[in-house]
Each structure stands twice: as structure tokens, then as C-alpha cells.
Amino acid sequence: KQEVTQIPAALSVPEGENLVLNCSFTDSAIYNLQWFRQDPGKGLTSLLLIQSSQREQTSGRLNASLDKSSGRSTLYIAASQPGDSATYLCAVRLRNTNAGKSTFGDGTTLTVKP
């Protein structure tokens, strides 16, 4: 059974700092890994998707890396802003022909202080 862990559960940083969020998973036979942000009372917003054959993906100030062998992914946020405050979730999809299931971590709640 795939288990996904996100550490830390909460993080508070001053504006402008660079930061790293961590996601670890137990089964390395993954199809892809996706990072989301969730604002209070809202659904999830897709940030980056990394396919199993890729090592990293970048979008603006965000960079996500994937190391399947160690079962880890990181989300790097450069020059953090108060608008980045949200809960960040990673989701892992296993390699299985009919499996639609993505397993989510419990998230890291980020607060960026002005």
C-alpha cells in the first residue's frame, strides 16, 4: 500500500525566503507525482506534474524534483511571497493500467509573513 508523507506539517517563513517542502512515498513504482496548493475553502490548484521518467519540473518560482529510488520529491519555492501562503499537497499515482487512484500526503501548511 502506497503511503505518502509530507514534512513538515506546518512552516512559517518571512517574505523573500527560499524554502523547500518535502514529500516521501513508500512504493517507487509510480506513474507520476503531482504538487498542488489548496487555499482555505477551495479545491486544489495544480502546480506541477512530474512524470516517472523525469527528474524535475519548473514553473516560474517553483521547482519540483523527483528521486524515485529514494522515494522522495521536493518542491522548492524561490523568493516566497505572502500570496504563497496555502497548504501544499503532493499526490502519487502508482503504475497500474486501470488504477485511477492518487494517494495524497496530508500537506504542509505554509505561512509567509510580510
Partner 1 sequence: GAGVSQSPSNKVTEKGKDVELRCDPISGHTALYWYRQSLGQGLEFLIYFQGNSAPDKSGLPSDRFSAERTGGSVSTLTIQRTQQEDSAVYLCASSLSYSNQPQHFGDGTRLSIL
Member of 74, 85, 103, 109 binding partner 1 (CB under 8 A) = 103
Question: What is the spatial distance between Cα 83 and Cα 29, in angstroms, rounded to a whole number?
Answer: 34
The C-alpha angle 39, 17, 50, rounded to 5 degrees, equals 60
How many residues line the site for partner 1 (CB under 8 A)? 24
Minimum gap (Å) between residue 1 Cβ and partner 1: 11
Tell which one of 105, 108, 110, 112 touches partner 1 (CB under 8 A).
105
Backbone angles phi, psi at 12, to 5 degrees: -125, 125
| Structure-block grid coordinates of residue 36 | 498542488
| Residue nearer to partner 1 on the CB measure, 13 or 63 | 63
Q: Cβ(25)–Cβ(2) under 8 Å?
A: yes
List of residues contacting partner 1 (CB under 8 A): 31-32, 34, 36, 41-46, 49, 51, 89, 91, 98-107
